[in-house]
Amino acid sequence: MSTINYSEKIPNNVNLGEDRTLQRALEGWQPNFINWWDDVGPEGSTNHDVYLRTAVSVDPQGWAQFGHVKMRDYRWGIFLNPGDANREVHFGDHKGEKVWQDVPGEHRANLRRIIVTQGDTEPASVEQQRHLGLTAPSMYDLRNLFQINVEEGRHLWAMVYLLQKHFGRDGREEADALLQRTSGDANNPRILGAFNEKTPDWLAFFMFTYFTDRDGKFQLAALAESAFDPLARTTKFMLTEEAHHMFVGESGVSRVIARTAQVMNELKTDDAQKIRAAGCIDLGTIQRYLNFHYSVTIDLFGADQSSNAAIFYSSGLKGRYEEGKRDDDHVLKGQTYKVLEVRDGQLVEKDVPMLNALNEVLRDDFIKDSVSGVGRWNKVLEKAGIPTRLVVPHKAFNRQIGALAGIKMSPEGRVVSEVEWAAKRDEWLPSSEDFAFVASLMGRVIEPGKFAGWIAPPVMGINRQPVDFEYVRFG
Amino acid sequence: MDMVVEAGIIKQHLIDPEICIRCNTCEATCPVNAITHDDNNYVVRADVCNGCMACISPCPTGSIDNWRTMPLVRAYTIEEQLTWEELPAELSPEELEAAGVSGASAEAAEAPAQTQAQAAAEATEPVFNSAQYGASVPPWSAAHAYTNLFPPKTPTTATVVGNFNCTEAGFDSETHHIVLDFGVVPFPVLEGQSIGIVPPGVDAIGKRHHARQYSVASPRNGERPGYNNVSLTVKRVTEDHEGDPVRGVCSNYVCDLKVGDTVQVVGPFGSSFLMPNHPKSHIVMICTGTGSAPMRAMTEWRRRLRKSGKFEGGKLMLFFGARTQQELPYFGPLQSLPKDFIDINFAFSRTAGQPKRYVQDLMRERAADLAALLKDGASHFYVCGLKSMEEGVVLALCDVAKEAGLDWDTVGAALKREGRLHLETY
């Protein structure tokens, strides 16, 4: 068992105490982290005792320990999955060589960039969700929000550890900069666009955790294949925590749909206005939120053709999703992949070198995974006897990055004129009126076992606790 | 207390596809690679999952904690599970019965999963899961067992040729030793197997009673050697688990049988809780109450072998627990066995003026001898009795091993793999 040392200021299972310089550097960064948490962490939550999951070791029995903790006392630690002394690089040009425990000089800049980008997303979502605690639809949901927040904070730590341990002065500077950028800040925004978008309400939060944290799953899974072993081990462990975030999103949207379907059946109507009047979110609004979060998230995978992606793969820095389960040569030279482009007002596929299309490969894996989850939401409608189905929009819809950026496209994948786009935009993406309506539903419900009228209760509690368990004790 | 022995049934571990979010956490944490997936579902391989519960607490959704009582031969395949959109319902008692599983054994199969899930949920420390060490294969030298010769749809008839109270008369926990004769109907059994008895009549809702299973207490050549008969150890059930008065349907029927009565019998059942035939193999038996039945069968077979000069020094060691000496079945006959044949240790938990002693306390006292046996690859351990004893007994074995400088993970895994630790609790 790989136990985590909780007697140290920074809990860890990486023998931090044996590296005094690193320990001092991290302990110097820690007060700034706490300041950041106090400034932009969950609003108004300082005295709550929250039923949080904390890792005491990285094995199955140890990493999901539950108890009431004040979030400021949560032990943001540095946890790496156990290593394998014989692990080999299993893709790219270094295939078959021993994995690296230190950063090879020639890959230093690229690895730093990958780690900084990943690290930047983690606190960003905490900042985006800062105000949501004040409008939680239930105590159960409030707890889930806080769990996500502390874990995103820990994931930031995970990346900061790598930066400070392996990248010297540059790493320390990058780690500091992570705390200086802020989501949505006009002067010093987060690195990736989606992390500067507002998460204005709980439907947006559920969509974000469904789609954007799923992006996290695919990015982390690709990094978990890395030849740089500390990165692989760190991200493997992060993946176990990320699962809860996706669960909050998937089950959250599913519960919204279930409640809407219930009210539709009770009122025997599919009229959006009547459903809204009954205090529920109509399926059209849910579809528009879905369109927005899906399209913003698939931009996170980067340009459809990218020489960086090829370099990252060939040099062993970042693999594909489930690299080990694929049965090709894991080098990919001379292979091709189909990407989309617009030619003569029509979408057409073209073959590009596979190595350059690896962002697209990862995006397509994500799309497949997302679509099956949307299928599970549709099962809720199907069971309730509602004929409407939710769909993910076309891959080219509302894209800001890559060859499809700026092309006006309907959700079904038809290239449209600027005029048509302007006329239909509010049918396809949430309008200010949609946001205002959803915001109007966001009242705080925090009595144990009670739920806001626009969302159904979950099928079971966290850690098999009852749904009316006191997940948050308000101090 | 009815004696329940497994009859090719499992508590199959399944994932609820309606709740699962396909996050891969379970597959990543499963230590034995029992979990796999396709684009549609995450599923558990029934033949690989050992119920270790490592996947339970890391699952963010709770979808992973689902169990279904299934006849082993009908366990859901991964191909089937991959197509599911929702979990199938539990098989009905009729479906289970049609597949050769009685209600009593189905309940017994349920117990481990529930207890494990609870333990995992309540644990703050890493959970000790005793059930994971129980073998599902027989010892290599065991004789071949016949099973299901008479399934529930087509029972056979046996005649009662003996019924004796084998505890001191007048105690609530009256336990009977019943002898059944099959005449010329083939009914071969081995020590450790069980048979089912179908009580006559119907239950409260007018359905025919299902069979109750009892371990065979006689050796393979019969209670009366050379005749086609078996004996059972049946305790008259007069109260339920909470101590409230209840009249056991089958146990009272069996205890009240008269010589010459006929009974409907199904079985035999059980293909792993079998004794080794190897003449130098050692047998450590740990039991409570009617859990003594298979131990009596094994002891008696060894006694007969020894008498005929066909045995070469394998040790027999017995740890036997009861509330009082008067409640111990077979107390008298056990006392008369030679000390150099069997090493007997009694634990009484309710003897007036004496501290409570349980079988695991005795095992710790005999740590030196048990350690020597744990080091010997010819040793076999059998645990049979109340569910509540199981964890304490396996923990005691684990502690004995550790104190002797053995690595329990290695020893425990070998005992399981080699069919040398058998757990049969109810």
Report domain extents, chain A: 16-473
Query: Given an 8 Å threshold on Cβ–Cβ distance, is A243 in contact with B60?
Result: yes
Name the DSSP letter for residue B344.
E
- Compute the average pLDDT of residues B313-320: 92
List the domain boundaries for chain B. Answer: 9-86+94-99, 156-269, 282-425
Is the pLDDT higher at B391 or at A137? A137
Q: pLDDT at position A135, please? A: 96
Is the pLDDT higher at A313 or at B88? A313
- What is the second-level CATH architecture of the domain A16-473? Orthogonal Bundle (1.10)
- C-alpha atoms less than 13 angstroms from C-alpha of B128 in its C-beta half-sphere: 14
The 10s digit of each residue's pLDDT in B11-49 is: 899 999 989 999 889 998 888 889 999 888 999 998 888
Query: Given an 8 Å threshold on Cβ–Cβ distance, is A217 in contact with B123?
Result: no
Is pLDDT at B165 greater than 50 in this prediction? Answer: yes
Q: Return the percent helix, strand and coil in chain A, to nearest 5.
A: 55, 10, 40
Query: Which whole-number Å values give the CA distances from B393 to B229, B285, B334, B379, B387, in the listed order?
Result: 33, 11, 22, 16, 10
Is pLDDT at B356 greater than 90 in this prediction? Answer: no
> pTM (2 decimals)?
0.67
Residues of chain A below pLDDT 50: none
Q: Which one of 2.70.98.10, 3.20.19.10, 2.40.30.10, 3.30.565.10 gives the CATH number of domain B156-269?
A: 2.40.30.10
For residue A373 the two structure tokens come to 């989850």
Mean pLDDT score across all residues of chain B: 85
Q: Does B349 show up as a binding residue in the annotation?
A: yes
Q: Which residues, at least 6 apart from A301, have a Cβ–Cβ distance to it below 8 Å?
A: A215, A218, A359, A360, A362, A363, A366
- For B9, phi and psi rounded to 5 degrees? -115, 155
Q: Which residues of B touch A222 (CB under 8 A)?
A: none
Q: Does B364 show up as a binding residue in the annotation?
A: no
Of the candidates B21, B22, B127, the beta carbon closest to that of A61 is on B127
Chain B (47-106) residues lying within 8 Å, Cβ to Cβ, of chain A: 54-55, 57-62, 65, 85
- Does residue A283 contact residue A274 with C-beta atoms inside 8 Å? no
Q: pLDDT at position A285, please? A: 98
Q: Which residues of B touch A64 (CB under 8 A)?
A: 57-58
For residue B107 the two structure tokens come to 């309940």
- Does residue B177 contact residue B233 with C-beta atoms inside 8 Å? yes
Q: Verify cis geometry, omega within 30 degrees of 0, for the bond prior to B268.
A: yes
Look at the block and give the residue holding tokens 């351990």.
B381
Count CB-CB contacts under 10 A for residue B352: 6
Count CB-CB contacts under 10 A for residue A387: 7
Q: A70 pairs with which residues across the strands?
A: A49
Query: Given an 8 Å threshold on Cβ–Cβ distance, is B58 in contact with A246?
Result: no
Look at the block and give the residue holding tokens 């706490």.
A34
Is the pLDDT higher at B57 or at B176? B176
DSSP notation for A211-265:
IIHHHHHHHHHHHTT-SBHHHHHHHHHHHHHHHHHHHHHHHHHHHHHHHHHHHHH
Is pLDDT at B113 greater than 70 in this prediction? Answer: no
**Which ipTM value was assigned to this complex?**
0.87
Query: Given an 8 Å threshold on Cβ–Cβ distance, is B21 in contact with A247?
Result: yes
Q: pLDDT at position B349, please? A: 85
Could you give the CA distance from residue A66 to residue A49 in angstroms, rounded to a whole number?
A: 12
Q: Which one of 3.40.50.2300, 3.40.718.10, 3.30.70.20, 3.30.70.120 gives the CATH number of domain B9-86+94-99?
A: 3.30.70.20
- Compute the average pLDDT of residues B93-106: 63
Classify the phi-psi angles of B341: left when phi > 0, otherwise alpha if psi is within -120 to 50, otherwise beta: alpha
Using the Cβ of B18 and the Cβ atoms of chain A, whether some distance falls under 8 Å is answered with: yes
With bands split at pLDDT 50, 70 and 90, how would you rate the model's confidence at B322?
confident
Q: pLDDT at position A463, please? A: 86
- Compute the average pLDDT of residues B98-114: 50
Is pLDDT at B239 greater than 50 in this prediction? Answer: yes
Q: pLDDT at position B106, please? A: 46
Name the DSSP letter for residue A72.
G
Q: pLDDT at position B172, please? A: 61
Nearest residue of chain B to residue A243 (CA atoms): B23
Could you give the CA distance from residue A61 to residue A139 in angstroms, rounded to a whole number?
A: 26
Cα torsion through A324, A329, A332, A333, rounded to 10:
160
- Does residue B39 contact residue B132 with C-beta atoms inside 8 Å? no
Query: Which whole-number Å values give the CA distances from B231 to A274, A418, B191, B315, B393, in the listed order?
Result: 73, 89, 11, 24, 27
Q: pLDDT at position A55, please? A: 87
Instruction: Provide the percentage of residues in chain B whose pLDDT is more than 90.
Output: 46
Cα torsion through B44, B50, B54, B58, rounded to 10:
20
- Compute the average pLDDT of residues B140-157: 89
- Compute the average pLDDT of residues B342-367: 88
Could you give the CA distance from residue A52 to residue A310 in angstroms, rounded to a whole number?
A: 40
- What is the second-level CATH architecture of the domain B282-425? 3-Layer(aba) Sandwich (3.40)
